[in-house]
Chain A
Amino acid sequence: MIPVTWRDMPTPGALSEGRRSALEAYLAQGLPHSRQEDWHYTALDHLTRLPLHPASETDAPRVLDEAPGDVLIFAGGRLIHAASRLPSSILHALQDQDLEATATLAPATALVALNNALWRGGGYLEVPPGQRLERPVFLRFVNDEPEAMAHARARIRLGAGAEAVLVESYAGGTEANYWCNALTEIELAPGARLTHVRLIEEGAGATHTGYTAVQMTQDSRYDLLDLSLTGRICRHELHLHLAGEGAACRLDGVFLADGRRHSDHHLRVEHAVPRTMSRTRYRGIASGRGRGIFDARALIRPGADGAEARQDSRNLLLSPHAEIDAKPQLEIYADQIQASHGATVGRLSDETLFYLRARGIADKDARRLLLTAFVGEALGLIQEAGLGDWLSPRIEARLDAIGETMK
C-alpha cells in the first residue's frame, strides 16, 4: 500500500537523510484529495484501496520501438537500456548526488515529496552552454507490473544558449493497475531553448500523476507539447516560472479522453518580470465516458509590465456521457500587458460530416479527417522537432480508434 506510516515503508533503514525528511513531508500531508482546490477535478482515492508495492526490478521489460535519438529506458524504476552517443556528462541515469548538487524547483507538495523520498530511476540531462544537441533525447519510462508504484524522475539543465529536444514518455502495454508518479525539473539558463514533448501512453489500467517544474531565465525559450493519449486516470501538473526578461514559452497540448479515461491538465504559469510571454493552446477530445480537464492559470505579478499571456482551449465532446471541463484563468497585477483567454466545447458537425461523405469520403474516414484537423492546430511542434515519423502514427491510431467507436 502507499505508505501512511513509517511501518509501511519497504526499506526505511536504507533511506538517506534527505529521503527520510521528504517522506516525513509526505506523511504529514497524505495523498491529495478532491477537497483541495488544486485537486478539484481528479480523485486518487482508488490508490488507497490498492495493495501498491514498489515496482520490482524486472529483467524482462516489454520491448519498445526504436526511438530516433539518444535514449534511456527505465522499467520498474531502473535503467534497463541506454542507446546514446552523448557523453555521460551530458546524459546519464540520475543519481542522488545530481539532485543534491542542484536546487529543488518543485515545492514539496504531497506527491512531489513522495517522489523525492522514493524515486529510483530517472534521467539527468545537462547541456553545456552554447551547445546544440543534434538529436532528440528520449527518456522513456515503462511500467507493466500490476499494483506497482513507480516514481519516475528527470532533471534537465540547459546552459546559456544551449538547445535541445527532449521527449519524455510514459508507457505501459498492459491492463495492469500500476501507478506512475513522475517529477521533472527543468532549468533554462539565459538564451537556452528547450523543446519538450511529454507523452502519456500509459496502460489502460494505469494511474499517472506527473509534475513538471520549469525555471526560465532571461531570453530563454520553452516549447512544450503535452500529449495524453492513453492511461486510465492521468494528470499532468505544470508549474512554469518566467523569471527573466524576454523569456517566452509555448504550451501546446492534446488530450484524448475516450472509454473511461480521465485526463487532467493543470497548468500554472507565473510571469514574474517584464517582457515575458506565454502562449497556451490545448485541444481536447472526450468520447464514451471520458473526461478531459484543462485547468490553466497565468499569473502576471506586479511589475511584470509588458507581459503577454494567451490561453486557448478548444474541445470536442463526442458523446453525451463524456465531459470536458475547460477553465482558463488570468490573474493580472501589472500594467500594459496583453492577455486573452478563450475556451470552447463543441461537437462534430453533422453538416460537415455530410459534406465530406457526399464527396465520397467514408463516414469513419470523414470523422478521422475532422478529428485530425481539430487536434492538428496544437501539433505544430511535432514537425518542428522532426518527430513526425515517430509520433504522428501514434496519434493517428488513437484518433482512428476514437472515430471507430463514435457512431
Chain B
Amino acid sequence: MLEIKDLHVSIGQKPILKGISLDIRPGEVHAIMGPNGSGKSTLAQVLAGREGYTVTAGTVRWLERDLLELQPEERAWAGIFLGFQYPLEIPGVANVQLLKEAVNAQRRRRGEPELDAFDFLERVKASLKLLEMDEAMLYRGMNEGFSGGEKKRNEVLQMLMLEPRLAILDETDSGLDIDALRIVARGVNAMRSPERAIILVTHYQRLLNHITPDHVHVLADGRIVASGGRELALELEAKGYGWLTAETPVEVRP
C-alpha cells in the first residue's frame, strides 16, 4: 500500500536520504532502525508532509496516489498518522478538544457522520483504559506539563482514536521506562490488523521485544544497508550498528 522508490531528500543543500526504497503491504509491521543522524526521522517527517525538506528524486505512492503531492492534512485524511518524537505542547487547546476536532475533521472528509459526544466519550474512555491514562488528562491543555511518558502515551491515544491505515511512530519508545514501554506497545499491538500497516522508527531494539515486526530495515547515512526479519534486530543489539556501517560513526548506548 506504501511504495517508496529511490527517495532522495535534502535539507537545504545537504542530502539526508540517498535513495530509499521500501514496499509496505497491509497488515505488516516494519521497523526502521539506525544510528542517530542516519535519516530515520527525516523519512518519517517526509512521509507526513513536514515542510523544510526537498525531495530531489524518487517517488512515494500511497494507495495508488502520489503521496508527495498531498498537504499534511490531506495525508491524515488519506489515513496516515505520524506519532511525533517530540509531541508539542499547546496551552489553551484541551486534549479532548483536539481529539474531537481531529477525529471529526477526518470523518467529515471521508463522508462519515461526526461522532456524537456520547460515542466519542465511550471510545476515548476505552482507549484511555487500554493505555492506563487518567481521564483528567483529557481536560488538560494539549501535552501541557505532561511528562515524557505521558506525552508518548497521548500520541498513542490519538492514534487509537484516529484509526489510521498507516501509523508511523517516530521513536515513540525513547524516554520511556519499562512499564510505559509495555503500555505503549499494548496500544500499538491493539492497532495491528490485516488492513493496517505500522512503521516503527527506533534506535533500540527493546521496543521490538514487545511489538514483533515482520521486517526490519537498517538505515545508515541515508541508505538502507540491511533488511531482514526479527532476527536482524537481535543481531544489531548484540553487535551494534558498526558492522553494517563501517564508515559511519557509531554510537550505541546500552
| A361-385 interface (Cβ within 8 A of B) | 361-363, 365-366, 369-370, 372-374, 376-377
Question: In the bound complex, do residue A360 and residue B71 qualify as a contact, i.e. CB atoms below 8 Å apart?
Answer: no
Q: Which residues of B contact A376 (CB under 8 A)?
A: 92
Contact of A377 among B81, B90, B92, B105 (CB under 8 A): B92
Q: Which residues of B contact A377 (CB under 8 A)?
A: 91-92
Question: In the bound complex, do residue A355 and residue B84 qualify as a contact, i.e. CB atoms below 8 Å apart?
Answer: yes
With most chain A CB atoms within 10 A of its CB, the pick from B71, B91, B93, B162 is: B93
Q: Which residues of A contact B162 (CB under 8 A)?
A: 359-360
A354-B51, A356-B98, A357-B72 known; A362+B88 contact, CB < 8 A: no
Contact of A361 among B81, B82, B91, B101 (CB under 8 A): B101
Q: Which residues of B contact A362 (CB under 8 A)?
A: 73, 105
With most chain A CB atoms within 10 A of its CB, the pick from B72, B87, B92 is: B72
Question: How far, in Å, is A399 (CB) from chain B's closest CB?
Answer: 13
| B104-137 interface (Cβ within 8 A of A) | 105-106, 109
A359-B158, A365-B105 known; A352+B88 contact, CB < 8 A: yes
In the assembled complex, B239 has its CB within 8 A of some CB on chain A: no
Question: How far, in Å, is A20 (CB) from chain B's closest CB?
Answer: 52
Contact of A360 among B50, B76, B92, B93 (CB under 8 A): B76
Question: In the bound complex, do residue B106 and residue A360 qualify as a contact, i.e. CB atoms below 8 Å apart?
Answer: yes
| B70-84 interface (Cβ within 8 A of A) | 71-73, 75-77, 81-82, 84
In the assembled complex, A350 has its CB within 8 A of some CB on chain B: yes
In the assembled complex, B102 has its CB within 8 A of some CB on chain A: yes
Question: In the bound complex, do residue A359 and residue B76 qualify as a contact, i.e. CB atoms below 8 Å apart?
Answer: yes
Question: In the bound complex, do residue B90 and residue A370 qualify as a contact, i.e. CB atoms below 8 Å apart?
Answer: yes
Question: In the bound complex, do residue A370 and residue B72 qualify as a contact, i.e. CB atoms below 8 Å apart?
Answer: no
A360-B73, A373-B91, A374-B92 known; A354+B101 contact, CB < 8 A: no
Q: Which residues of A contact B109 (CB under 8 A)?
A: 360
Question: In the bound complex, do residue A359 and residue B98 qualify as a contact, i.e. CB atoms below 8 Å apart?
Answer: yes
Question: In the bound complex, do residue B102 and residue A359 qualify as a contact, i.e. CB atoms below 8 Å apart?
Answer: yes
Question: In the bound complex, do residue A355 and residue B87 qualify as a contact, i.e. CB atoms below 8 Å apart?
Answer: yes
Complex alpha-carbon distance, A301 and B102, angstroms: 52
- Give 7 nearest A-B pairs by CB, closest first: A373-B92, A360-B76, A357-B72, A359-B102, A360-B106, A357-B73, A373-B93
19 extra A-B contacts, CB within 8 A, seeds A352-B88, A358-B72: A355-B90, A356-B102, A358-B73, A358-B75, A359-B76, A359-B98, A359-B162, A360-B109, A361-B73, A361-B105, A362-B105, A365-B101, A365-B105, A369-B98, A370-B90, A370-B93, A372-B92, A373-B90, A374-B92
